[in-house]
Structure 1
């Protein structure tokens, strides 16, 4: 049981991100993290949050993302590289980080095991007790699972809730590569209330370019304003981490995997490849005027990879800021290329 955290009266009753997302000419930048494991004493959770805040305090970031970690063993027959352990309530950790940074925090919520009544209660507590304003709903990792609350019903329950959450969804490039309809899913989720989308960790550059291009063109065709797409990148410093990335369902091309694993410094090679990947993505889709953002995460608690994620954030943010500024300048001048 997490402690009750009443939202102070002076805090905003609206999402700060909702306003920031309206400016398609600028990027929006996040740090992704997970709540501490439930094996961590509650009294120590605030200290862990303090360490994270200390690491990122010098970064210019718009907010944080707190994941709702679920056991995804039903999605694959492969053994999980790292054992699954439950975590403290994401709402509680989000509230701590919001208080300590003064920045918005997007909170993930897995809805699989809820019913409508339980989910509505969860939402009211999230808003009133934990100051959660920004939320991403996550459905079942496998169609084989028994699902109490399908994702479509969860979106409707969110719309019916009395609180005006700013809602996002998941974009999975790998799913588009297999089924070719992820762009339709994004538009359907938008019609159900989603105003931004967060990708899985990106290692398959072309798969990401494909879904972004298809989504942008479909929005143009239907006369729909494209919603913000937040691109997630995560460094990889070991074979074990790479195995975990692939276990999570992230597509890693063989050549990419071999280059990382055979590099003198795998972590630095993965960072270099993430930078190259973002450059390729932006070069391919920047002319479509998709509102974009970045989310940088570390998938393990290894100090080397956490520090690598901070460096990766700095590099990728500077890259996206430059691309967006150059694109805005070209539009202002009415020319195709000036750099």
Structure 2
């Protein structure tokens, strides 16, 4: 299981990320969606399924959202109800500010009972109203009599701006996090800057490193490119140009993501930092979702080859 790779610092974990269907989805359609998802994800033989907890991020920026925001089903109840037959571990995101203390305690206990891992997510901005702050959520997790593994979110773009993301991660480790999942990575330089600062800080302090999981997102259209940009993902100008002007944007996205993953994996190996990858599509378009499978298989094949070499 993924938890074993995290515990033993074994690189090469492969995760697949999904968003729950919209709240208003009819039950008949919901059953069809989840059956197709279950079959597709089981065929990937991934180490874990990541199920996101979506929040409205409009308070984070003054720019208009490219697509309308729709609330989705709760990731915990959705996974427990509809993805029981998935043959992999599950990671449930929790936007902690949505919940009361009692609700979050229940979620922690439920994840422990189901052997799910959790990722706690803070507010999208300082202006967002919340019921629970992230430090209080960590305190609740630490006080829980039974709890599953806990992870956090790492944002390389924040490190570019503040130069202290590695210190934030170390503080989250002290509060219980054993692994971290990034938002989509496109600018490899800012990711490597974070990794370098983190690894040197770990060495200076004599502390143990956490397991890093880097998210790769398929971009199959200029509309998806705009959404990625709105979400705060740093996309270098050359990469935007190469995607927007390519004759086959899906093929270009697969190849660019593979190159990013290969370079990051080698850099982490040099730094003795255990890492894995999370493949997702932020678009619901069938062709972009199909491209995630190609990217997943190609990357999994590459990681298997380099682990043997």
TM-score normalized by structure 1?
A: 0.87
1:185 aligns with 2:168: yes
| Aligned-partner Cα distance in 1 for 2:82–2:6 | 21
The 8 Å contact of residues 42 and 87 in structure 2, kept in 1 or not, is answered as no
Alignment match, 1:265: 248
Superposition RMSD on alpha carbons, in Å? 1.7
- In the alignment, is residue 63 of structure 1 matched against residue 62 of structure 2? no
Specify whether residues 98 and 217 from structure 1 end up closer, same or farther in structure 2 by C-alpha distance, changes over 3 A only. farther
Q: Distance in 1 between matches of 2:200 and 2:271?
A: 8
Q: Distance in 2 between matches of 1:113 and 1:91?
A: 13
Counterparts of residues 145-160 of structure 1 (less than 5 Å) = 145-160=128-143
Task: Give the equivalent residue in structure 2 for 1:30.
Answer: 15
Deviation, 1:303, is: 0.6
Q: Retained in 2: the 8 A contact 1:70–1:110?
A: yes
Uncovered stretches (5+) of structure 1, i.e. residues with no partner: 1-15, 327-339
Pair member with larger Rg: 1
43-52 or 265-274, larger mean C-alpha shift: 43-52
Separation of aligned partners in 2, 1:117 and 1:232: 31
* 2:259 match: 276
State the partner residue of 2:187.
Answer: 204
Indicate the residue corresponding to 1:222 in structure 2: 205
Gaps of 5+ in 2: none
Number of aligned positions between the proteins: 309
Q: Is the 8 A contact 1:230 1:294 kept in 2?
A: yes
Q: Deviations over 1:56-110 (max 9, x none)?
A: 3332311100000111100011111111111111012222464121321100000
Cα 1:110/1:123, change in 2 over 3 Å: same
Q: Deviations over 1:297-327 (max 9, x none)?
A: 011110110001110111122223333444x
CA–CA distance in structure 2, aligned partners of residues 19 and 148 of structure 1: 33
Give the superposition deviation at 1:264. 0.4
Q: How does 1:76-225 map to 2 (within 5 A)?
A: 76-96=61-81, 98-128=83-113, 131=114, 133-225=116-208
Give, in whole Å, the separation in 2 of the partners of 1:72 and 1:311. Answer: 30
Report the 3-state secondary structure (helix = DSSP H, G, I; strand = E; otherwise coil) of the residue aligned with 1:21.
helix
SS at match of 2:300: helix
List 4+ stretches of structure 1 deviating above 4 A. Answer: 125-128
Task: Specify the SS of the correspondent of 2:91.
Answer: strand
Deviations, residues 25-65 of structure 1 (Å, cap 9, x unaligned): 34211110011101112344232111012223332311100
Q: TM-score, normalised by structure 2?
A: 0.95
In structure 2, what is the Cα distance between the partners aligned to 1:17 and 1:276?
A: 24
1:255 CA displacement: 0.9
Contact 1:31 1:295 in 2 (8 A): yes
SS at match of 2:16: strand
SS of 2:299's equivalent? helix
- 1:273-312 matched pairs, under 5 angstroms: 273-312=256-295
